[in-house]
């Protein structure tokens, strides 16, 4: 009998994990499930001990992991202390693209394999990025708020205030991973000209790869899709923001740390930056006195790009297949630390 901890939250629930694993394995009767639920997303994720973007208490997780060989989660904090205290653990499935809530070095040293779920929210995030572009380009949020307040903004039909179309516009994608590639295909269907910057990417049909400075100069819309690493932290800084085409729209649905937020209020007020659409922030949630909350031409959403039911279902299905492969002694497809297998405790 293999004991599996389903460490879920209020988006990917423990029952989602358990149902997906039962459907994926050859003999569900050989499994025993226990569960733990964190309060994310009603409480924001954050750093927990030495891991990032995690939710829950380490001591509570350690208690739940006693006698557990397999754990599946989205946000549980698998810090270094967890691996020291849980000698039975052999496998962790993390249903997100980057398992930053797991100390991968500690897992590898302990012989615990870790798999992730790349692409689980790619469709949702791509659709949302394009939705933010449309909302910002066509003044949808302010027009809605003003109409509800009793103001009919007929001046949005004047030449000076009229919106812009995606068709015929040049859209620059910073990063060309799974989300960005879907975004590019959606934009091409609108008739946009799509260019991208990613020094590690393979070509995508219909997308011209360019250097970052060229992308900023040419694009009427710039959308961020890169991973946040030490190399990409504040990739779009003050100097690069000033290189953007005057009046361009900047969209960020990736990670807040890609963007230096400090110059943005002045760039919006001057009109150099024509609009800003954000789903992610350097601090989440942003403080009540954050200048961008009252800045002009800004569309904001609370980190919703991946928030679809299909994302949750897809994520658990990917991880359930990884669990099935692990339990069947097959090679997992999405292991992030294959070196752990040599040390795995059997």
Residues with a known catalytic role: 255, 284, 303
**Gap between the Cα atoms of 76 and 58, Å rounded:** 8
d(C-alpha 228, C-alpha 235), whole Å: 9
Q: Terminal CA-to-CA distance of the chain, rounded, Å?
A: 14
Determine how β-strand 46-48 pairs with β-strand 51-54: antiparallel
Rounded to the nearest 5°, which phi and psi values hold at 107? -65, -45
Sheet containing 70-73: give its strands across: 31-37, 2-8, 70-73, 91-94, 113-115
Q: Return the ∠ at Cα 189 (arms to 185 and 193), rounded to 5°.
A: 75
Question: 211: part of which helix (H) or strand (E)?
Answer: none
- Asked if residue 4 lies in contact with residue 34, where contact means CB atoms within 8 angstroms, the answer is yes
Cα within 13 Å of Cα(216), Cβ side: 16
CA distance 4 to 63: 14
């Amino acid at each position: 009998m293999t004991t599996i901890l389903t460490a879920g939250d209020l988006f990917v629930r423990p029952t989602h994990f358990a149902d997906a694993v039962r459907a994926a394995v050859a003999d569900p009767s050989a499994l025993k499930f226990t569960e733990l639920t964190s309060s994310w997303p009603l409480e924001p994720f954050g750093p927990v001990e030495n891991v990032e973007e995690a939710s829950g208490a380490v001591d509570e997780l350690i208690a739940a992991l006693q006698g557990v060989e397999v754990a599946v989660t989205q946000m549980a904090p698998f810090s270094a202390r967890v691996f020291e205290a849980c000698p039975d653990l052999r496998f962790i499935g993390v249903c997100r693209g980057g398992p930053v809530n797991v100390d991968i070095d500690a897992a590898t040293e302990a012989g615990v394999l870790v798999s992730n779920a790349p692409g689980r929210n790619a469709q949702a995030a791509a659709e949302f990025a394009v939705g933010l572009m449309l909302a910002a380009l066509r003044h949808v949020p302010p027009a809605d708020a003003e109409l509800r307040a009793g103001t009919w903004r007929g001046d949005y039909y004047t030449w000076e205030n009229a919106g812009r179309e995606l068709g015929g516009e040049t859209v620059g994608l910073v990063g060309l991973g799974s989300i960005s590639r879907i975004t590019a295909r959606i934009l091409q269907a609108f008739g946009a000209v799509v260019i991208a910057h990613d020094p590690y990417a393979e070509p995508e049909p219909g997308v011209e790869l360019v250097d970052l400075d060229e992308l900023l100069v040419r694009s009427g819309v710039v959308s961020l899709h890169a991973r946040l690493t030490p190399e990409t932290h504040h990739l779009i800084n003050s100097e690069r923001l000033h290189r953007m085409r005057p009046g361009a729209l900047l969209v960020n649905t990736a990670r807040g740390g890609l963007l230096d937020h400090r110059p943005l209020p002045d760039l919006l007020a001057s009109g150099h930056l024509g609009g800003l659409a954000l789903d992610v922030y350097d601090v989440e949630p942003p403080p009540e006195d954050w200048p961008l909350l009252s800045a002009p031409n800004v569309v904001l959403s609370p980190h919703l790009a991946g928030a679809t039911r299909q994302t949750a279902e897809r994520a658990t299905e990917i991880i359930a297949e990884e669990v099935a492969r692990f339990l069947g002694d097959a090679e997992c497809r999405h292991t992030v630390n294959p070196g752990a297998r040599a040390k795995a405790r059997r």
